[in-house]
Amino acid sequence: MSDLPHMVSVAVQSSSSFDAVLMVSNDSRKVRSIAEIIPSNLPLRVMTSLSRVRDALVDVNIEAQVLEEGLSSKGLSILNELYDLVLQGMGERWIAKGGRLLIVLAEPIDGVIIVDTKMLGAERLTAIAEEQNIELDVLIRMIELSRAIGTRGREGTAIGALFAIGNIQKMRGHSTAMVLNPFKGHSEAKRDVRNKENHETLAEFAWLDGAILFNREGIASDAGRYIQVPSGLTPKSGEGGRHLAARAISQLTEGVAVAVSSTGSIVLYANGRERYRVRIK
């Protein structure tokens, strides 16, 4: 049996400083035992898949959030999702830019992980957001959506997707509608990538051939847009059509594009250059 409080105590005592603590647990008693160990001035956020656990923790002034999927059956796959949880925390700004994070796992496995967010590529996302005048949360949510699409696929088949962010009129000028626009007539609230409740709908439209276009606030405007790649722009070694289209639209419109590969990678382009890449399989 692991002694989780002891592991946390050793981590806190042996490290010079942390900026926040993220705990994943479906046991409110375990959370309270950890809360007693960590310094009172250290922000604690708990992720749980049970509403009753969230409510019990909120009653004792511990901030908690309910995850969409259950924890108990994840096993070691929870490690793959920690990246998204950390990026989410940075997007919501409760994890400091470039900060050090203590992650405490109490469900489905016990363990302690120390994370330096500078090593996660989040700094690059922050730089791109600032350069492109895009909210960091928009890019982070776009990566989350991309990861969900690339990981889950559709009906057991691996698929890809293409998103472009920037000036809508410019992007329309360099693309052609392949289908009737499914977003027409819908409110901005239903088209906002920052709202995770919209991700299932956005994923459905991402599976159409072509790209989804977003403005710099993360509001989807068009789906199924065929990107017109100039004749002078040729594929690089190993670059497929989707990635070429992403590179092209980001260059032509001085914006950002995200290509999700069916082979297991997410690549973000800005102004025609690859700026961020992460493997998802």
> Could you read off the pLDDT of 221-255 as tens digits, one per residue?
999 999 999 988 887 877 888 999 999 999 999 99
Q: Which helix (H) or strand (E) holds 266?
A: strand 265-270
> Is 1's pLDDT higher than 50?
no
What would the pLDDT profile of 14-37 be if each residue is shown by its tens digit? 766 888 899 999 999 999 999 999
Round to the nearest angstrom and report the end-to-end CA distance of the chain: 31
**Domains in the chain with CATH codes:** 4-119 (3.40.1380.20), 122-279 (3.40.1700.10)
Query: Tokens 């690089």 identify what position?
Result: 236
pLDDT digits (tens, 9 = 90+) for 126-150: 889 989 999 888 998 898 899 888 8
Distance, C-alpha 250 to centroid of its chain? 20
On the question of pLDDT at 80 being above 50, the answer is yes
Radius of gyration of the CA atoms of the chain, in A: 20
Would you tell me the crossing angle of helices 28-35 and 4-14 to the nearest 10 degrees?
Answer: 30
Encode pLDDT of 161-170 as tens digits. Answer: 999 999 999 9
What's the pLDDT score for residue 42?
Answer: 86
**Mean pLDDT in the chain?**
86
CA-nearest of 26, 218, 240 to 133 is: 218
pLDDT score recorded for residue 250: 96
- Whether residue 182 has a cis bond before it, omega within 30° of 0: no
Backbone angles phi, psi at 160, to 5 degrees: -120, 180
Gap between the Cα atoms of 203 and 147, Å rounded: 11
- In the block, residue with structure tokens 């928009």: 138
φ, ψ at 237 (rounded to 5°): -60, 125
Alpha-carbon span 68 to 49, nearest angstrom: 7
Rounded Cα distance between 189 and 197, Å, is 10
3-state secondary structure of 59: helix
pLDDT in tens, 106-132: 887 888 988 887 766 667 788 899 899
With residue 214 as reference, give the H or E element that holds it: strand 211-214
The pLDDT value recorded for residue 79 is 72
The answer to whether the CB of 133 falls within 8 A of the CB of 216 is yes
Structure tokens at 259: 């290509």
User: With a threshold of 0.75, does the pTM exceed it?
Assistant: no
Task: Count CA within 13 A, CB hemisphere, residue 49.
Answer: 11
Q: Kind of pairing, strands 256-260 and 220-227?
A: unpaired
